[in-house]
Each structure stands twice: as C-alpha cells, then as structure tokens.
C-alpha cells in the first residue's frame, strides 16, 4: 500500500459569503447595485473596497467620467452603457461611505437634487411662462443668485470648483466676471486684446525671459478663452475636437509608414509634410497644423 494521502484543509467559508443568486434575489437593478456595494464594503468584503475613503475615490471617479466622455464621443451606445454603469457604481460607492459615516445616504442626495431642479424650473413646475433658451438661462442665474444669498461668500467666484481643468476654469471665471458687468463691449475688443497679449509674449521671448514669456502665454490663452466665449464656442470642446483631429491624422501617418516598414522617427521632414497633406485629404479639410507652407 502506498502512503496515505492527506487531504488539504479547505479554507474557511466566510459567514456572509453570498452567491450571485442570493445577492440579486428580489432586487431591482439599482437595488442590486446598492446591495453589491454593501457586500464589497462589509465585514468580510473586499480588502481594497473596505480601505477606500471619499478622498481616495475621487481620482477613480474622475477617470471613469473621462472614460464615459470618450465613449460618448466614440458614438458607441454599448460603450456608453458600460461606462455610465462604472460612473454609477462609483457614485453609489461614495454615497455608501458617507452613509456609514452617519452623514447622509444616496436617497437623501437624490431628494436634494430633485427639489433643487423643481425649484430652478418654475416655468415647468410653477406659474412662470418662459419660451426661449436665453430667458431660461437668465432665470436660472437669478434663482442661483437667490440661493447663494442664503450662504454669503466673499466672491462670486467662490463656487467655481478649484480642481477644474485650467481651460474650463478660465471659461467659468470669465462667465462669472462677464455676468457682473466686467467684460469687453464687443468681439473686436477682446480680439484686439488677444493681439496685444501676443505682442507682449513676443517681447518677452525677445528678452529671453522664460518667466515673463510663460506669464504672457497664459494671458494669451485666457484671452482666447474669452474670444471663444464671445463667439459662442466652448474652448474645451473646440480644443478637444482639434486634438482628436490631429491625433487621427498623426495615426494615419504612422500607419502609412508602418505599412512600408518605416518608422515616423526615421523619415525626413519633407516626407512628413507630404504625409500630412495626404492625411488631410483622407480625414477632411482643415488648417495646416504642422508645415509652415500654406495649404
């Protein structure tokens, strides 16, 4: 007879370990999600989930929001559905953290936003009559101003999130300043300001002052944000579209070279200009972004 085989001890079963059917039993989709988060963060839940705090979750939420934006711009409904679910998971997760801290729960947040939207739409839920989009915007601002007066602040800029990307923050600040009456009178005025900022930037470059050049370049960007505002263009969207267009054309150039067994780092500038023109023809007309030659 051979040596007696010793059975390996089985790992202990967690007391609250639930099968999928138990977790999802008799719950609607939203209820399942909330229950899922409770299990993940429970006594015998996932170590990573149990370790998280509202602050640690902010970066993950931000990443998911950017992925959602990408999916919307891609035009894929399937991707949007998936990424929207990811964002929803993080919202439920963060609300669960505050619930456990004794602050509020997700239904409280839902109640608050519902009441806020009803209050800010008196032309729908009240007796006001408004038909144009511009009138809706004016009413929205008036109502927000009334709400903010209940919580006095030192500046009308206080409610602008400090963590906004610089371009979006510049647009928001410009909007607030313009709303208070501090603005250029016309588009020509702000465009003239942009030309002046460009001249000051060139002067700083000529003086070889890196610090001054950096400041002046920032002034150029800020002024161009206001040019966009006057033109009814959101600078974040416009820049995003231009970056996407450039990326598509650059990838086209890379593929053209790769098909010939070449790399973009090894070809001449003349060849790159030729490929850029070809990329433009393939992806649609626009300004010539790389070459100094006129298109």
- Give the domain-ending residue among 53, 88, 113: 113
My answer on whether 148 and 93 are in the same domain is no
Query: Do residues 89 and 145 both lie within one domain?
Result: no
- pLDDT single digits (tens) 43-87: 989 999 999 999 999 999 999 999 999 999 889 999 999 999 999
Report if residue 36 sits inside a domain. yes
Structurally, how many domains does the chain consist of? 3
- Whether residues 109 and 124 share a domain: the answer is no
Helix residue ranges, H only, 101-209: 106-119, 122-125, 133-149, 166-179, 187-206
Of 65, 93, 113, which closes a domain? 113
Give 289's pLDDT tier (boundaries 50, 70, 90). Answer: very low
Domain end point (choices 113, 132, 162): 113
Smallest Cα–Cα separation from 196: which of 240, 174, 226, 239?
Answer: 226
289 assigned to some structural domain: no
Instruction: Please check whether residue 246 is in contact with residue 289, taking contact to mean a CB–CB distance below 8 angstroms.
Output: yes
Q: What is the pLDDT of residue 262?
A: 93
Among candidates 133, 226, 145, 246, which has minimal Cα distance to 178?
226
Average pLDDT, the chain: 88
Indicate the range of 17-31, 38-52, 173-187 predicted with least confidence. Answer: 17-31
**Do residues 167 and 210 touch, judged by C-beta distance below 8 A?**
no
Element (H, E) at 1: none
Instruction: Pull the structure tokens for residue 118.
Output: 């009803």
Query: Which tens digit of pLDDT belongs to each residue from 199-208?
Result: 999 999 999 9
| pLDDT on residue 145 | 83
Quick one: the chain helix, strand, coil %, rounded to 5? 70, 0, 30
Q: Which residue has the tokens 């998936």?
A: 82
| Cα–Cα nearest to 269, from 253, 251, 280 | 253
Q: Which residue did the predictor score with more confidence, 117 or 162?
A: 117
Position 79 in a domain: yes
Q: pTM for the complete prediction?
A: 0.66
The 10s digit of each residue's pLDDT in 225-250 is 999 999 999 999 999 999 999 999 99
Q: For the residues 194-199, what does the mean pLDDT come to?
A: 97
Q: Which tokens is 184 given?
A: 């250029």
Lowest mean pLDDT among 25-29, 239-243, 279-283: 25-29
For residue 288, name the pLDDT band (cuts at 50, 70, 90). Answer: very low
Question: Once rounded to an integer, what is the mean pLDDT over residues 193-221?
Answer: 96
CATH code (residue 53): 1.10.287.1080
Residue 135 and residue 56 share a domain: no
Question: What is the rounded CA–CA span in Å between residue 268 and residue 291?
Answer: 13
Q: Are 60 and 107 in the same domain?
A: yes
Task: Mark whether 106 and 127 lie in a shared domain.
Answer: no
The token pair that represents 96 in the structure block: 């669960």
Q: Do both 28 and 86 map to the same domain?
A: yes
- Segment of 24-38, 82-96, 118-132 carrying the highest mean pLDDT: 82-96
Is residue 212 domain-resident? Answer: no
The string of DSSP letters for 229-244 reads HHTT--HHHHHHHHHH
In a domain, 231, yes or no: no
Please indicate, yes or no, if residue 226 is contained in any of the structural domains: no
Domain that holds residue 270: 236-283
Share of the chain above pLDDT 90, in %: 72
pLDDT at 151 over 90: no
Q: Are residues 60 and 133 in the same domain?
A: no
Using pLDDT thresholds of 50, 70 and 90, give the confidence band for residue 287.
very low
pLDDT of residue 90: 98
Q: Is residue 45 assigned to a domain?
A: yes
Q: Is residue 80 part of a domain?
A: yes
For residue 260, the model assigns a pLDDT of: 93
Residue with tokens 């059975």: 7
Look up tokens 């089985």; give the residue.
10
């Amino acid at each position: 007879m051979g040596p007696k085989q010793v059975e390996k001890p089985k790992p202990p079963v967690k007391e609250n370990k639930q099968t999928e059917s138990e977790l999802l039993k008799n719950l609607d989709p939203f209820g399942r999600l909330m229950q899922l988060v409770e299990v993940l963060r429970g006594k015998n839940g996932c170590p990573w989930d149990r370790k998280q705090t509202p602050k640690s979750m902010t970066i993950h939420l931000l990443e998911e929001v950017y992925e959602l934006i990408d999916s919307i711009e891609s035009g894929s409904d399937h991707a949007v559905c998936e990424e929207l679910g990811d964002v929803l998971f993080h919202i439920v997760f963060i609300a669960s953290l505050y619930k456990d801290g004794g602050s509020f729960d997700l239904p409280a947040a839902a109640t608050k936003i519902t009441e806020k939207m009803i209050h800010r739409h008196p032309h729908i839920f009240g007796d006001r009559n408004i038909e144009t989009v511009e009138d809706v915007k004016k009413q929205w601002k008036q109502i927000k101003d009334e709400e903010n007066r209940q919580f006095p602040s030192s500046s009308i800029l206080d409610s602008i999130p400090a963590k906004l990307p610089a371009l979006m923050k510049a647009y928001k600040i410009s909007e607030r300043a313009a709303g208070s009456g501090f603005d250029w009178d016309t588009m020509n005025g702000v465009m003239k300001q942009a030309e002046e900022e460009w001249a000051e930037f060139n002067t700083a470059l000529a003086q070889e002052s890196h610090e001054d050049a950096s400041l002046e370049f920032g002034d150029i960007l800020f002024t161009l944000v206001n040019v966009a505002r006057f033109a009814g263009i959101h600078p974040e969207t416009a820049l995003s579209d231009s970056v996407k267009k450039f990326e598509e054309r650059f990838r086209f150039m890379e593929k053209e070279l790769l098909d010939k067994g070449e790399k973009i780092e090894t070809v001449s500038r003349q060849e790159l200009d030729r490929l850029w023109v070809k990329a433009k023809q393939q992806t649609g007309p626009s300004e010539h972004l790389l070459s100094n030659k006129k298109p």
